[in-house]
Amino acid sequence: MKPPAFDYHAPETLAEAVRVLAETAPHGSVLAGGQSLIPLLNMRLAAPRHVVDITRVPGLDRVGTGTGGVTVGALVRHTDLAADPAAAEAVPLLRQGLRLVAHPVIRNRGTTVGSIAHADPSAEMAAALALLGGEVRVANAAGTRTIAAADLFTGYLETSLERGELITAAFFPAQGPATGSAFAEVARRHGDYAVCGVAALVALDPDLRITGAKAAYLSMGPTPAVLDLTEAVAGLVPAHGPVAPGDSDRYAAAGDLAAARTGPDAAADIHATAEYRTHLARVLTVRALREAGAHAVSRATERAAAGAGRA
């Protein structure tokens, strides 16, 4: 397959990149890793008149980790982010989700920010950004601005980016020391887009009881849906082993709540019926919450043990 004809631009500075995008808007597309854009071009599902290759722009290939969270530049590859130990410590959800992104050869080329900009509702990193309440940093000909994840995704493969704008970085807020996370999804084959997926966050108090529980959903609507499920599981003490019958009922109630809230947006396609996706949302919510809870207990106890050792 061959892409449609386009003019190729290779800016060497950020200022040049946003200038070219402004001049070619709305007919320009950004090329970073190319793992989303190139297939769209080859299948003639996209036909931009201009392709702006930002891979020569310096400073966009860095991962920055601080007390507040992790900043991921627009040219950071999935593989490099997953291998970054500081990022994995601050935001474990990143590495948990990245291991589910496609296949190694794609992760070696694809960029995390590019996946977010593509705005596929089946994308793990878009769901992670939404669940964590992160933001993207955007450059345009007039300067820079930030867009909260809650305002970024507007529809299937659609964002609130304005013409001529470029996402330069994504910021993922750090998870607290007593906050655990997990990803659970079902795909036809490992590495395929999820038929349904759930990313979960569980926060604990000093007594290791759940004080907060949220989940984001992949492939259950045109944008990543984020639900607060605290009401169903507040007060539970997560366990690594078998769950007590009463606690099991509480987790099941969270799954029912998730199915009720995501089911109306579930779509049927060649991969699954809407009913099956809703069933998966219920089952995977329970699985992800339990795993996130166990992860939260592990992180909290490790932090407590480290503090005792220093004392």
CATH number at residue 24: 3.30.465.10
In angstroms, rounded to a whole number, what is the distance separating the alpha carbons of residues 216 and 129? 9
The confidence score (pLDDT) of residue 221 equals: 94
Question: In this structure, are 3 and 146 located in the same domain?
Answer: yes
Question: In this structure, are 29 and 145 located in the same domain?
Answer: yes
Residue in this structure with the two tokens 């655990």, named with its chain if needed: 180
> pTM of the prediction?
0.95
Question: In this structure, are 147 and 34 located in the same domain?
Answer: yes
In angstroms, rounded to a whole number, what is the distance separating the alpha carbons of residues 249 and 278? 19
Strands 135-140 and 166-173, how do they pair?
A: antiparallel
DSSP state of 265: G
Residue 208 class from Cβ within 10 Å (0-12 exposed, 13-18 middle, 19+ buried)? middle
CB 235 within 8 A of CB 204: no
Region of 100 please: left (phi>0), alpha (psi -120 to 50) or beta: alpha
In angstroms, rounded to a whole number, what is the distance separating the alpha carbons of residues 91 and 174? 5
The confidence score (pLDDT) of residue 148 equals: 98
Q: How many domains does the chain have?
A: 2
- Phi, psi torsion values for 118, nearest 5 degrees: -65, -30
The confidence score (pLDDT) of residue 244 equals: 77
Determine the structural domain holding residue 293 and report its residue range: 179-309
| Assigned token pair, 259 | 């199915």
Question: In this structure, are 102 and 238 located in the same domain?
Answer: no
Question: In this structure, are 86 and 201 located in the same domain?
Answer: no
Question: In this structure, are 105 and 199 located in the same domain?
Answer: no
The confidence score (pLDDT) of residue 200 equals: 98
Looking at 175, 197, 227, which one is the last position of a domain? 175
| Assigned token pair, 31 | 């090329």
* pLDDT < 50: residue spans in the chain: none
In angstroms, rounded to a whole number, what is the distance separating the alpha carbons of residues 113 and 171? 10
In angstroms, rounded to a whole number, what is the distance separating the alpha carbons of residues 289 and 221? 20
**H-type helices in 84-173, by residue range?**
85-90, 92-98, 104-107, 112-118, 124-132, 149-152
Looking at 116, 151, 175, which one is the last position of a domain? 175
Question: In this structure, are 62 and 184 located in the same domain?
Answer: no
| Assigned token pair, 270 | 């060649």
CB 75 within 8 A of CB 116: no
The amino acid present at 153, given as its one-letter code, is F
Distance, C-alpha 242 to centroid of its chain: 29
Q: Long-range pairs for 50-53 at CB < 8 Å and ≥24 separation?
A: 50/6, 50/7, 50/8, 50/9, 50/20, 50/24, 51/6, 51/7, 51/8, 51/9, 52/9, 52/11, 52/17, 52/20, 52/21, 52/24, 52/28, 53/8, 53/9, 53/10, 53/11
Looking at 148, 175, 202, which one is the last position of a domain? 175
Sheet of 194-204: strands edge to edge?
179-187, 194-204, 210-218, 225-228
Question: In this structure, are 285 and 139 located in the same domain?
Answer: no
CB 239 within 8 A of CB 296: no
The confidence score (pLDDT) of residue 256 equals: 98
Residue 34, Cβ neighbours under 10 Å: how many? Answer: 16
